[in-house]
Amino acid sequence: MMKTHSQGGSAPPVTGITASWVNLAIIVVIGILSLVSLYFGFKSFIEDQITAYTYLLIGALGFAAIGYMLFRGGRPSAQSKMDIPRAEIITTLECPKCNLRRVRDFKQGDYVFKNDEPCTRCDGVMIISRVNRKKEPDKEKKQGVIE
Amino acid sequence: MTVLFAQILQQETDLNMIIQTLFSFAFIVYLFYAQRLQSLQMLNQIEATLRRLKKIRDEARGISINAINEVGKPGVDISAKVDRIMEFISIPLTEMDPYGIVDKLDHYLKVNHDIFEAEVKAIAPNAAEVERQNLENLVGLTFELNYIYKAMRHNYLMGKKTMNIYIILQVHMILPLIMQLVESLTVGIQATREGIPIGDSVGPIVAGRLMKDYPKRDISKEMVSAEVPFDGRTLIVMKAKGPGGTVGTPDEAIMTALNEKEGKVKIIIMIDAAGKMEGEPVGAISEGVGAAIGGTGKEKFKIEEITVKYKVPIHAIAIKQGMEHTMAPLVEELAEGAEKAGESVKRIIMDYSQPGDIVIVAGIGNTIGVGQ
Ligand SMILES: [Zn+2]
Question: What φ, ψ does residue A141 adopt, rounded to 5°?
Answer: -75, 150
CB contact under 8 A, B278 and A12: yes
CB contact under 8 A, B23 and A112: no
Nearest to B278 by CA among B324, B235, B229, B214: B324
Helix or strand (DSSP H, E) at B236: strand B233-240
Instruction: Please tell me whether residues B212 and B358 are part of one structural domain.
Output: yes
Q: What is the pLDDT of residues B209-256, one digit of tens each?
A: 999 999 999 999 999 999 999 999 999 999 999 899 999 999 999 999
Q: How far is B316 from chain A (nearest CA, A)?
A: 12
Question: What φ, ψ does residue B247 adopt, rounded to 5°?
Answer: -100, -10
Q: What is the CATH number of the domain that holds B328?
A: 3.40.50.1470
Q: How far is B277 from chain A (nearest CA, A)?
A: 6
Ligand 1 centroid – CA A92 distance (Å) = 14
B310: number of CA atoms within 13 Å, CB side? 23
Instruction: Please tell me whether residues B145 and B216 are part of one structural domain.
Output: no
At B130 the three-state DSSP class reads: helix
> Does residue B28 sit within a domain?
no
Q: 12-41 in B: which are within 8 Å (CB) of A?
A: 12, 15-16, 19, 22-23, 26, 37, 40-41
Q: Does position A14 have pLDDT exceeding 50, yes or no?
A: no
Query: By CA distance, what is A88's nearest residue in B?
Result: B329
Which pLDDT score, from 0 to 100, does residue B62 have?
A: 92
Which pLDDT score, from 0 to 100, does residue A8 have?
A: 64
Instruction: Please tell me whether residues B189 and B217 are part of one structural domain.
Output: no
Nearest to B344 by CA among B205, B168, B206, B191: B206
Give the total number of structural domains in chain B: 2
Nearest-angstrom CA–CA distance, B298 and B305: 11
Instruction: Please tell me whether residues B314 and B339 are part of one structural domain.
Output: yes
Which pLDDT score, from 0 to 100, does residue B150 have?
A: 94
CB contact under 8 A, A133 and B179: no
pTM score: 0.82
Q: What is the pLDDT of residues A15-62, one digit of tens each?
A: 444 456 777 888 888 888 888 888 888 888 777 777 888 888 888 888
Which of B194, B220, B243 is the last residue in one of the domains? B194
> Does residue B178 sit within a domain?
yes
Instruction: Please tell me whether residues B256 and B175 are part of one structural domain.
Output: no
Instruction: Please tell me whether residues B168 and B207 are part of one structural domain.
Output: no
Instruction: Please tell me whether residues B190 and B214 are part of one structural domain.
Output: no
Angle B328-B330-B332 (CA atoms, 0-180°, nearest 5)?
135
Nearest to B184 by CA among B368, B322, B296: B322
Chain B residues within 8 A of A146 when measuring between CB atoms: 279
Q: What is the pLDDT of residues A104-143, one digit of tens each?
A: 999 988 999 999 889 888 888 999 999 999 887 765 555 5
CB contact under 8 A, B175 and A17: yes
Edge-first strand order for the sheet with B223-230 is: B216-220, B223-230, B233-240, B358-363, B267-275, B314-321, B285-289
User: ipTM value of the model?
Assistant: 0.84
Residue from A33, A111, A126, A138 to probe the interface with B (highest B Cβ count within 10 Å): A111
Ligand 1 centroid – CA A101 distance (Å) = 9
Q: How far is B141 from chain A (nearest CA, A)?
A: 6
Residue B39: give the domain boundaries: 34-194
At B180 the three-state DSSP class reads: helix
Task: Tell me A97's DSSP state.
Answer: T
Which pLDDT score, from 0 to 100, does residue B259 have?
A: 94
Chain A residues within 8 A of B45 when measuring between CB atoms: 17-18, 20, 73
Q: Please give the distance of CA B178 from its chain centroid, rounded to a whole number.
A: 13
**CB-closest option in A36, A111, A132 to B335:** A132
Question: What φ, ψ does residue A125 adopt, rounded to 5°?
Answer: -110, 130
Which pLDDT score, from 0 to 100, does residue B201 have?
A: 95
Instruction: Please tell me whether residues B181 and B256 are part of one structural domain.
Output: no
**CB-closest option in A44, A109, A132 to B332:** A132
At A126 the three-state DSSP class reads: strand
Q: Using a CB cutoff of 5 Å, list residues around ligand 1, an ion.
A: A 95, 97-98, 100, 119, 121-122, 124
Instruction: Please tell me whether residues B138 and B52 are part of one structural domain.
Output: yes
Q: Does position A10 have pLDDT exceeding 60, yes or no?
A: no
Q: What is the pLDDT of residues A61-112, one digit of tens each?
A: 888 888 877 766 544 443 445 578 888 999 999 998 898 999 999 998 899 9
Which pLDDT score, from 0 to 100, does residue A12 have?
A: 44
User: Directed axis angle between helix B12-67 and helix B79-86, to 10°?
Assistant: 120
Nearest to A33 by CA among B22, B297, B87, B95: B22
Nearest-angstrom CA–CA distance, B68 and A93: 29
CB contact under 8 A, A14 and B176: yes
CB contact under 8 A, A6 and B365: yes
Which of B144, B178, B194 is the last residue in one of the domains? B194
**CB-closest option in B189, B272, B299 to A84:** B189
Which of the residues in chain B have pLDDT under 50? none
Give B292-316 as a DSSP string: ---TTSHHHHHHHHHHHHHT--EEE
CB contact under 8 A, A9 and B140: no
> Does residue B128 sit within a domain?
yes
Query: By CA distance, what is A23's nearest residue in B?
Result: B41
Instruction: Please tell me whether residues B224 and B117 are part of one structural domain.
Output: no
CB contact under 8 A, B56 and A83: yes
Which of B166, B194, B222 is the last residue in one of the domains? B194
Instruction: Please tell me whether residues B152 and B256 are part of one structural domain.
Output: no
Instruction: Please tell me whether residues B239 and B224 are part of one structural domain.
Output: yes
Q: How far is A123 from chain B (nearest CA, A)?
A: 18
CB contact under 8 A, B370 and A113: yes
CB contact under 8 A, A5 and B294: yes
